[in-house]
Structure 1
Amino acid sequence: FLDKAAYISTRDIDDQKKGIYTPWRLCPVTQVEEVKCILRLLPIWLCTIIYSVVFTQMASLFVEQGAAMKVIVLNFRIPPASMSSFDILSVALFIFLYRRILDPLVSRLRKKNSRGLTELQRIGIGLIIAILAMVSAGIVECYRLKYANKDCIHCEGSSSLSIFWQVPQYAFIGASEVFMYVGQLEFFNAQTPDGLKSFGSALCMTSISLGNYVSSLLVTMVMKISTEDHMPGWIPGNLNKGHLDRFYFLLAGLTTIDLVVYIACARWYKCIKLEGRGDENDDERGSFNKV
């Protein structure tokens, strides 16, 4: 359909003879192909938004959950927001493990390919780890509620469960960042034409920003539905009277569905061979067929 934009009709020939050029009627083939490249990226891009929703929880609900846990350790008060340092440590650790161990190992196991995991495969692994992060957060919340004081007023530090039980969910988020965000950025930059390089980076940033909006929308919808019949809802001001664990498991379910859709899109997608970068993308074609 888009090829019609570059089709030269009789009217276009007459206009050219008269010295009339209308870019809205006739486009260069290069522009048409660039638009095709961008449109083919959109299904993959849409599948990354749900991951950004999961990532957003680290700076919002994870902090609220941590504040309702035991934050006094050896007479020191651990600020709930400071637990994100384990995310940073996890990113540093998994970058080292990926570059030094996993990537060389995958390269040796492959017979015809000297490269490690492709960008599409890394994005898929990032989604899988994000699911584990939400499941871990949900399990921790179940135990937090088990040891919580239901009648607390402010809910801060109302559970006897230590805040350090949150470390696994922060570590999973950090590990998923290594695979998702790095793979996503490399993929979009590699698959956008040279004239649209900034657009590839913009897709990554847009995915993160939309994830924040979708997260807010999801919380609003969940609270509206779960507060019917005068119920406190899943995420009330006092978390001990809610079910934050159900929200985490909901996110795990949504991410699982997103993973299935992503795998279908990744198997359908065939990477383009841009001039000067064809060799780098040869083995990307049908990469999920090898998984």
Structure 2
Amino acid sequence: MERTIFPGFDIPPASVQSINGIAIILFSPVYNCICVPIARVITGKPSGITMLQRIGTGIFISIFTIVIAAIVEIKRLKTAKEYGLVDDPNATVPMSIWWLVPQYFLFGVSEVFTMVGLQEFFYDQVPNELRSMGLALYLSIVGVGSFLSGFLISLIQNLSGKDGHESWFCDNINKAHLDYFYWLLAGLSVMEFTLFLYFAQYYPYNHKGTITQA
């Protein structure tokens, strides 16, 4: 994609990830100073919303993040086809890298809800004597998620690349179908969100923790 910010400077591809961190830094005070007081007035809860509601909100936002990523990838593939760049994996598709900003920013916003909510949940809802174990369980989510992600990618790589077909993750990204992968993730996220809502409604909070939940 076109990575020129101003003449003579192209943004490094890897630095796009920094948008995620910037979003977290910018939205965290917005959440604490604006969202929580408003939610506190509406719900009457000291924390504004419960921990599980915070986690659920993050999951909900992440679904839209993946959908946006799929739409942008469809746009990129269409642009590559229009300019005859499908067979040239090294060609620069005439499409600005700024198209990627919304999905990375929204992902950062979703993390403010989800990851912070999970930290609160695992620290607050375990017995006082096991709080260090609760934080360990929280960190294990990242490891398990990375393992499942790697497994899913390997499985799709093998299945979609059978019988001489181009894999969804083939080396030529203009022939790949990351959009299919994003739609699959969006579908799995909807299933996850549905299950989360079902089980969350039956969860009894442990009110002995340090974070008060009404």
> Shared fold (TM-score greater than 0.5)?
yes
Distance 1:165 1:186, change over 3 A: same
Distance 1:95 1:156, change over 3 A: farther
Q: CA deviation at 1:156?
A: 3.8
Q: 1:225 aligns with which of 145, 159, 164?
A: 159
Letter in 1 for 2:118: Q
Contact kept? 2:124, 2:210, Cα under 8 Å: no
The alignment partner of 2:49 has SS state of coil
Q: CA deviation at 1:199?
A: 1.0
Letter in 2 for 1:202: A
Greater mean alpha carbon deviation, residues 173-182 or residues 89-98 = 89-98
Aligned residues: 209
Matched residues in 2 for 1:215 and 1:128: separation? 19
- Deviation string 1:177-197 (CA, Å, 9 cap, x unpaired) is 100010001011111111111
Q: 1:188-267 counterparts in 2 under 5 A? A: 188-267=122-201
Distance 1:271 1:213, change over 3 A: same
The alignment partner of 1:216 has SS state of helix
* Greater relative contact order (CA < 8 Å, ≥ 6 in sequence): 2
Letter in 2 for 1:219: I
Letter in 2 for 1:174: G
Residue of structure 2 in register with 1:96 after alignment: 29
Distance 1:279 1:241, change over 3 A: closer
Q: CA deviation at 1:77?
A: 1.5
Q: CA deviation at 1:115?
A: 3.2
- Deviation string 1:90-145 (CA, Å, 9 cap, x unpaired) is 111211211111110011112x4343011100100110111111111111100111
Letter in 2 for 1:98: Y
TM-score by length of 1: 0.69
Residue of structure 2 in register with 1:105 after alignment: 38
Identity score, percent: 37
Please identify the structure whose Cα radius of gyration is greater: 1
Matched residues in 2 for 1:234 and 1:176: separation? 26
TM-score by length of 2: 0.93
Contact kept? 2:124, 2:211, Cα under 8 Å: no
Q: Which runs of 5+ in 2 are unaligned?
A: none
- Deviation string 1:4-50 (CA, Å, 9 cap, x unpaired) is xxxxxxxxxxxxxxxxxxxxxxxxxxxxxxxxxxxxxxxxxxxxxxx
Matched residues in 1 for 2:58 and 2:78: separation? 31
Contact kept? 1:131, 1:252, Cα under 8 Å: yes
